[in-house]
Amino acid sequence: MKVGIVGLPNAGKSTLFNALTKGGAQMGDYPFTTIEPNVAIAQVPDERLERVAATVRSSELVPATISFHDIAGLVKGASEGEGLGNQFLASIRETDAICHVVRCHGDSGVPHPDGRIDPLADIETIETELVLSDYEQVERRLGRVGKQAKSGDAEAIAEHGWLQAVFEALAAGRAARSVPVPDAAPDAARNLQGLTTKPILYVANVDEGEIVVPEVVATHAAANGAGAVAVSARIENELAELNPEEAEEMRESYGVEGSGLARLVRAAYDLLELITFFTAGEDKEAVARELRRGATALEAAGTIHTEIMEAFIKAEVVGWQQLVECGGYSQARDKGQLRIEGRDYVVQDGDVITIKV
């Protein structure tokens, strides 16, 4: 899963990205790895995985991961080729979700491209570019899908209808995600590869003194079905240099509770609307695995390995909490908590699953 970090110049994207890549110390057992200068892999903190691994006596923890991409270059006019323009927009197109860094701190030492601090106006500047870019994309796709719809294909007809509604929404300045995808064309949004169909997390980059999401940002996020977290990118960047004890001391001196980065990673993961299931064996790895909500046991097997999916016989399933409370698989089996499920079982968040082949 890829999350693109976007925002106006000087909003604090690179500072936040650097904090993420250096954040190993304060993230404890969940280090980051930089794979390219602007791409970092973050491990998703998950207490459930630790508890499951301890119960089963697994040898190693393998958390779920998300990659963060620092995408520079969005300025006013990007959709017309200003700045890195279309290159920038193409990089966002490849992501699963958008993490939008919004300048909210008032440090006069950091110039703002428009010379004033106005989080809502900044959000609108960025979102206008995304809307304009999608507008062109929808126009192109309408032509193509229109031809398929004329042949009478039911899915194409539904997709065409959705595209027309999206076209009108965009023309009115609204995001494509405001138009529900029809059941008859479930892939419509994916086919469009829109920018404004992607889930958004606003990261309010706030002053050190008070780490809260400003009212205007919170209201805008709520009205648009987006998430919002507050961090001080500067503090997180400083904290990321320290060892865990020093970081805790500094956090206390600032009155900051918990790791902002951990909160950010968690919120980004939640945004993707994934569920997590676990596989764990004694003296083997305990793995947190991401899965689309509503996916079946067979699909879960497929995320482990295609061969495991092909050889699927049944799944042994127990909720992580039941497993921990019982103290292990055999105790859970004795207490009737470990169930046998078939290939069509809909996996629940937190299930611990053993696929039998």
Ligand X SMILES: Nc1nc2c(ncn2[C@@H]2O[C@H](COP(=O)(O)OP(=O)(O)O)[C@@H](O)[C@H]2O)c(=O)[nH]1
Site for ligand X in 192-221 (CB under 6 A): 205
| Choice from 10, 14, 86, 178 touching Mg ion (CB under 5 A) | 14
Regarding 38 and contact with ligand X (CB under 6 A), the answer is no
Regarding 38 and contact with Mg ion (CB under 5 A), the answer is no
Query: How far apart are CB 194 and ligand X at their closest, in Å?
Result: 24
Regarding 233 and contact with ligand X (CB under 6 A), the answer is yes
| Choice from 232, 276, 296, 322 touching ligand X (CB under 6 A) | 232
Regarding 234 and contact with ligand X (CB under 6 A), the answer is yes
Site for ligand X in 109-128 (CB under 6 A): 110
Query: How far apart are CB 11 and ligand X at their closest, in Å?
Result: 4
Q: State the number of binding residues for ligand X (CB under 6 A).
A: 15
State which residue, 231 or 323, has the beta carbon closest to ligand X: 231
State which residue, 8 or 272, has the beta carbon closest to ligand X: 8
Site for Mg ion in 56-95 (CB under 5 A): 72
| Choice from 9, 24, 73, 146 touching ligand X (CB under 6 A) | 9
State which residue, 72 or 84, has the beta carbon closest to Mg ion: 72
Site for ligand X in 90-109 (CB under 6 A): 105, 107
Separation of alpha carbons 102 and 117, rounded Å: 10
Residue 105 contact among ligand X, Mg ion, none, beta carbon within 5 to 8 Å by kind = ligand X
Regarding 15 and contact with ligand X (CB under 6 A), the answer is yes
- The site for ligand X (CB under 6 A) is made up of 7, 9-15, 105, 107, 110, 205, 232-234
- The site for Mg ion (CB under 5 A) is made up of 13-14, 72
